[in-house]
Amino acid sequence: MIKLVAVDIDGTFMRSNYTFDVERFEKILARINAAGCNFVVASGNQYYQLREMFKKYRNEISLVSDNGAYIESRGELIFAADIPKEIIASATDICRRHPQIYKFLCGVKSAYCEKNTVSDDVYNFMKKYMPRMELVDDFKTVDDKFLKFALLIQQEDKIFEYYKIFREELSGKLIPTTSGHDSMDLILPGLHKASGIKKLAELFGITAAECVAFGDSGNDIEMLKYCGESYAMANGAPEVKAAAKYVCPSNDEDGVLVTLDKIFPN
């Protein structure tokens, strides 16, 4: 019996135009709750974006945001990561050596962008995913509890080259994970969507076998492997489909809701 449903947002739950079938979702969520199951939004996006997106249901669901670095369940904080300042400094220095990388630092209070490092278009694009954002002079002087780095790679064909650079130069202090075609996150070792879902499963007293996950990108692979049941989206990357047990219709075909209708029928 499924007791936890975890869904990625971009390319998975959300259609390409960033909408979802609200009426259909609310009917499914009611059935999920009635079955004693837990609905979890698991995303690399900022907590404040997810909280706003699902504000109507905040006391009914859980949020695993920032790739497992910040976890809330039914409005209550469960976990927040804290990257040491010296690691923030090291990662910042690496990024500064590669101007093709647009860097954003994600904290508990806000996300941050260094002044004069990105165009207005890029800044406004990233605010879609990190609506609470501040311009600062230097990441190294920001006073916050830090969750992750979010990076945009200007040359998409070089993303795996930069992946290797961060793997080697950060020596395991932070781990790179791809979160889209031109996006990469740097997160603490052991933190990812699966670690967040595991914390919630332990909180709810359930097992991995009782969980189902939906995803489309590289940062979904751990949770797809963790959960007893897993679905890659038809629009998902090949390595994501390889990690999942099943493939469901694409995000633009409402694949998550189509599948949940079958798992939790009327």
Annotated active-site positions, please? 8
What does each C-alpha distance from 250 to 25, 40, 167, 212 come to in angstroms? Answer: 16, 19, 31, 17
Starting at the edge strand found earlier in the chain, the sheet holding 62-65 runs 76-80, 70-73, 62-65, 38-42, 4-7, 211-215, 229-233, 246-248
Residue 117 makes CB contacts below 8 A (sequence gap 6+) with 102, 103
Give the SS3 label for residue 261: helix
The length of the chain, given as a count of residues: 266
